[in-house]
Chain A
Amino acid sequence: MIDRWLSRAWDAITSLKLTIVLLALLMVLVVGCTLAQVEMGTFGAVKAFMRSFFVWWAVPGTGWEIAILPGGALVGLVLAVNLLAAQGRRLELSWKKSGLWIAHAGLILLIAGEFVSAVFQIDTRMAIEEGQTVNYVESPREMELVVKDVTDPRYDDVYGVSESLLSRGGTIPVPGTPLSLRVKAYLQNADLRMRGPQDPPGPATMGVGTGVLLAPLPPVTSDDDINRSAALVEPVAGGQSYGTWLVSNALGAPQSFIHEGRTYVLSMRSRRIYLPYSLTLKKFSHDVYAGTDIPKNFSSLVHLSNRSTGEERDVLIYMNQPLRYDGKTFYQASFGKGDTLSILQVVQNPGWLLPYVACALVTLGLVVHFAITMRRGPRRGAVLEA
């Protein structure tokens, strides 16, 4: 009995029908993902359709969500299993089929590459103004709360508290200082509104936040928007409270308090990841074709300085010519401030080579297969009948 079930399952998992169904499902998902981008933005649509195990649909008026389709991750996974299993079961190991073996191996690698990207790829960015030296990258989708000790005018001590810690709440000690932060609330995206004279008092008791009212918003999905995160924190030191502060990237004014003669500034900003090296923008160039405003090229001449390895060199980053360094790739992405600010996109993806290998394999496999089948056709006219 169990044997029969097992063999049935094995039949199903290795069947060509399953392959076709999965490919068709993938087409449906791709179409859905494409159309949804108009509303949700690319990032949101990819998350909903491709980087998920199920595509959920919110039933209007009920608050329920039901899965209406398997998501890209599930389809990809099953497709990979199907491919592997079918390969082992149905495709004989022979020279005649060598092209298909190579092509399918490449496909498995391609799917694996997409999984690696989905899990491990880290997208950050670096904005540098001409003459400025920057030794960190920023993650525009994540925020961090920063406590900065600015007492010494020569340097600042900076302590960052990540989003995940903030959303857990509780009391967070700030390392290297006598301070602790009591997190009273954290909103990933919030609507901040000036408090009118009739409104009830806001949640904050200190700083500019006392004049502001807070309301939670769903996190943004569009690629062009960023969250306006807000946290209500109460710094505590030596048993003394410094009141409740509203900290948000939507608030421009700096907020500070003094404890035992040291000045601490509270702020919310894009999460920074510091690098063991720095880039200095020497020159940003943006040329247009004569007599038009069609961009001809963008390029950033940067100086790369790495103390630990003693590297000091100039690099020109321009379209189609990124800088690959330290497992990260720096691309010319954007610019601003009258062509004095250059924005580099920084991508870290340990699997970046996988698609290259996969593609070479699939292409080779298809060429070999079609060549073999063509050579087999003895009659003229049968050449393409394979």
Chain B
Amino acid sequence: MKIARIAPWAAFGLALAASLLAVVPPRPAPFDLDAFGRLPVLEGGRVKPVDSVARNSLLMIRGTQSFAYGGRNLTADAWLLDVMFRPEVADQQPIFVIDDPDVLALAGLKQSSERRFSFARLAPYVAEIERQAHAAQPVDSRSRTRFQSAVLTLFDRLYLYFRLRNTAQPDGSRLAAEIQARSAPGAAERQRALAQLAYFRPVPPLAGQPADAWKNVGEALRAASPDPYLQGLARLGQSYAAADAAGFNRTAAELGAMVRDRLPAAVTQAGHEVLFNRSQPFYLGMVLYVLALLVLFASWLWWPDVLRSTAFGLLAAGAVVHTAGLVSRIVLQGRPPVTNLYSSAVFVGWVAVILGVVLERIYRRGFATGVAAASGFATLIVAHHLASDGDTMEMMRAVLDSNFWLATHVTTITIGYGATFLAGAIAIVWTLRNQLARTMDPGTTKALGSMTYGVICFALLFSFVGTVLGGIWADQSWGRFWGWDPKENGALLIVLWNAIILHARWGGYARERGIMAMAIFGNVITSLSWFGVNMLGVGLHSYGFMDKAFYALSAFVASQLLLVALALLPRRFWAGRAAREAGAGPGDAARAAASK
């Protein structure tokens, strides 16, 4: 009994302590990559640490934030340094994934166990890849063939790599040499090319210039007297290429001091973002949720009380880490939590987890822990896949640039999504329990029922309020309250469905089994209105079109329909005999009698 009291706190504390380890900066060995990663740059309209650019670029190109090659463990920062200042080394690193056999053939390759190829390997075929990509570009993204999508993706990645390589210095030249020869014949041409290709702007504005007057290297080279910051960058590149760690570390520190003089706020902000990048709170949260689930499963076999409360402790730790990540994003971006599809996934998961924690405190049966951990894990996985498009803190388009409405409408509607999913998840637990559990105590069954009902009420309230606030926003910005736009319709469907469930329950048309099946179907409706409408590609809300997600979404819908069918199975198909005895209502008894 005593252990059961201590266990959750111990698990909670240990998990948090372990999470804190992720924040500790790495020791400089031998290059101080952290100092480099903290340097702010301007990319995508916002000032961010170069570490974010490196991570997002590597994520877009290779799908990971680090990799090992040639006996080195390359972090994103080390990789970016290679690309910028040692292109001959970076060109040999296999980072481009090619799976499509036709694209492989295009590059003169055969399908083998090798999936990743270096830029040097692909270089002779770049012209042909570009030609094919340009041919595929005008085709509507929904009607592209597999080859066309694959070749476009590959070309986009090659082009991004090429731009990164041409951000600090032109092909075959060094930045220091470019500064030296900045008014030599032919230099203007190279500077123009650099300015055009540069992926980000590393040179901060001088004191007295507007805060967004960052320059790319090509532009900075045109100045009459070279900016000392540009010269610092050149020294940084030189010492990196010459493997002079001491020189590199000294220059990185100088550059940091220089930019701190010019834009102190940007340096602080970039430092926070590096911390956020390094700690990867959503990845940590995912790990904690999985641990909580595993411990909960174990609790059904051994020490139920101790392990169940341990699982809750882990869930709570996950919730804290998840919340910390969410709050960091809000602070870093200066925006409410949901600004794009990625952050909506993170937030939906957070809502489900927090509601789950509350439900577990009320009912204490372990099921809410499981549902919350599974939902949190699943949505963070979804978020992880949505993040591969690049910067997840991109700037808001003019239409969306309203913190007030982002905070009210978007947040509320996303809470509605999260709650609807949670209700569906509880109903899934109810269904699986019927199929798997040998014995079922009626108390838990009842608790699951009332949890589902309560969460649906909550979901109806939030999805309705969110939908309506959206209408009011639309009235403010587009001139109509309601335009039957696909995204609006999706939100309305969730409201209508939740209303139907509640009315069916109040009218007595649906009992436990019916409500559960309907709650699972709510998952289908929510997922379609969340992602499906983005795939239609019509309407004012289609900011993020995605085609790859189509198969994932179809699979999810199919699985949910299967679960609905499973939930609707009559009691005689349930697992345990105890179930029939414990849960059988008068109607079932009558039917059982009639069938005999």
- The distance from the CB of A17 to the nearest CB of chain B, in whole angstroms, is 7
Once the chains bind, are A291 and B477 in contact (CB under 8 Å)?
A: no
Complex CA gap A290/B216 in Å reads 12
User: Which residues of chain A (322-381) have a CB below 8 Å from chain B?
Assistant: 322, 329, 331, 333, 345-347, 349, 352, 355-356, 359, 362-363, 366-367, 370, 380-381
Interface presence of A24 (CB below 8 A): yes
Once the chains bind, are B453 and A386 in contact (CB under 8 Å)?
A: yes
Interface presence of A158 (CB below 8 A): no
Interface presence of A113 (CB below 8 A): yes
B500: chain A residues at CB < 8 Å are: 20, 23-24, 27
User: Which residues of chain B (6-47) have a CB below 8 Å from chain A?
Assistant: 42-46
Once the chains bind, are A23 and B214 in contact (CB under 8 Å)?
A: no
Q: Which of A42, A347, A370, A381 is in CB contact (< 8 Å) with B479?
A: A347
- The distance from the CB of A241 to the nearest CB of chain B, in whole angstroms, is 45
**Taking CB as reference atom, which chain A residue is nearest B485?**
A42
Interface presence of A30 (CB below 8 A): yes
Q: Which of B46, B363, B464, B483 is in CB contact (< 8 Å) with A381?
A: B363
Once the chains bind, are A355 and B475 in contact (CB under 8 Å)?
A: yes
Complex CA gap A370/B453 in Å reads 12
Stretch binding the partner chain, chosen from B59-67, B234-242, B489-497, B572-580: B489-497
Complex CA gap A1/B489 in Å reads 44
Once the chains bind, are B42 and A31 in contact (CB under 8 Å)?
A: no
Interface presence of A7 (CB below 8 A): no
Once the chains bind, are A34 and B536 in contact (CB under 8 Å)?
A: yes
Once the chains bind, are A366 and B507 in contact (CB under 8 Å)?
A: no
Interface presence of B451 (CB below 8 A): yes
Once the chains bind, are A294 and B395 in contact (CB under 8 Å)?
A: yes
User: Which residues of chain B (531-564) have a CB below 8 Å from chain A?
Assistant: 533, 536-539
B46: chain A residues at CB < 8 Å are: 289
Over the window 206-233 of chain A, the binary record of Cβ atoms lying under 8 Å from chain B Cβ atoms (1 yes, 0 no) is 0000000000000000000000000000
- The distance from the CB of B535 to the nearest CB of chain A, in whole angstroms, is 10
- The distance from the CB of B217 to the nearest CB of chain A, in whole angstroms, is 13
Q: Which of A16, A113, A366, A367 is in CB contact (< 8 Å) with B506?
A: A16
Once the chains bind, are B479 and A331 in contact (CB under 8 Å)?
A: yes
Interface presence of A253 (CB below 8 A): no
A384: chain B residues at CB < 8 Å are: 362, 450-451, 453-455, 457
- The distance from the CB of B362 to the nearest CB of chain A, in whole angstroms, is 6
On whether A381 and B362 interact (CB within 8 A), knowing A290-B214, A352-B475, A367-B461, the answer reads yes
Q: Which of B42, B45, B469, B537 is in CB contact (< 8 Å) with A294?
A: B45
User: Which residues of chain B (492-540) have a CB below 8 Å from chain A?
Assistant: 492-493, 496-497, 499-500, 503-504, 506-507, 509, 533, 536-539
Once the chains bind, are A297 and B401 in contact (CB under 8 Å)?
A: yes
Once the chains bind, are A27 and B44 in contact (CB under 8 Å)?
A: no
On whether A362 and B468 interact (CB within 8 A), knowing A352-B481, A381-B447, A384-B451, the answer reads yes
**Taking CB as reference atom, which chain B residue is nearest A110?**
B468
Once the chains bind, are B484 and A42 in contact (CB under 8 Å)?
A: yes
On whether A363 and B468 interact (CB within 8 A), knowing A320-B473, A386-B453, the answer reads yes
Instruction: Report whether over half of chain B's contact residues are helix, strand or loop; otherwise say mixed.
Output: helix
Interface presence of A56 (CB below 8 A): no
Interface presence of B398 (CB below 8 A): yes
Once the chains bind, are A37 and B539 in contact (CB under 8 Å)?
A: yes
Once the chains bind, are A42 and B503 in contact (CB under 8 Å)?
A: no
Once the chains bind, are A386 and B457 in contact (CB under 8 Å)?
A: yes
A33: chain B residues at CB < 8 Å are: 484, 489
Interface presence of B480 (CB below 8 A): yes
Interface presence of B168 (CB below 8 A): no
Interface presence of A130 (CB below 8 A): no
Q: Which of B212, B447, B509, B538 is in CB contact (< 8 Å) with A290?
A: B212
**Taking CB as reference atom, which chain B residue is nearest A35?**
B536
Once the chains bind, are A42 and B539 in contact (CB under 8 Å)?
A: yes
Q: Which of B216, B454, B468, B480 is in CB contact (< 8 Å) with A359?
A: B468
Q: Which of A20, A292, A321 is in CB contact (< 8 Å) with B507?
A: A20
Once the chains bind, are B503 and A291 in contact (CB under 8 Å)?
A: no
Interface presence of B405 (CB below 8 A): yes
Once the chains bind, are A20 and B509 in contact (CB under 8 Å)?
A: yes
- The distance from the CB of B466 to the nearest CB of chain A, in whole angstroms, is 10
**Taking CB as reference atom, which chain A residue is nearest B537?**
A38
A297: chain B residues at CB < 8 Å are: 398, 401
Once the chains bind, are A345 and B478 in contact (CB under 8 Å)?
A: yes
Complex CA gap A168/B370 in Å reads 70
Interface presence of B465 (CB below 8 A): yes
On whether A291 and B450 interact (CB within 8 A), knowing A355-B481, A381-B363, the answer reads no
**Taking CB as reference atom, which chain A residue is nearest B46?**
A289
A37: chain B residues at CB < 8 Å are: 484, 486, 536, 538-539
A363: chain B residues at CB < 8 Å are: 461, 464-465, 468
Once the chains bind, are A50 and B476 in contact (CB under 8 Å)?
A: no
Over the window 420-454 of chain B, the binary record of Cβ atoms lying under 8 Å from chain A Cβ atoms (1 yes, 0 no) is 00000000000000000000000000010011011
Once the chains bind, are A331 and B478 in contact (CB under 8 Å)?
A: yes
Interface presence of A163 (CB below 8 A): no
Once the chains bind, are B450 and A117 in contact (CB under 8 Å)?
A: no
| Known pairs A294-B44, A296-B395 / 7 extra A-B pairs, C-beta < 8 Å | A46-B483, A288-B45, A290-B42, A319-B401, A331-B477, A345-B479, A363-B465
Provide a sorted-by-A list of 16 A–B residue pairs whose CB atoms are within 8 angstroms: A31-B493, A37-B486, A37-B536, A289-B45, A290-B45, A290-B213, A291-B214, A298-B398, A320-B401, A346-B479, A347-B480, A355-B472, A370-B458, A380-B362, A384-B455, A386-B457
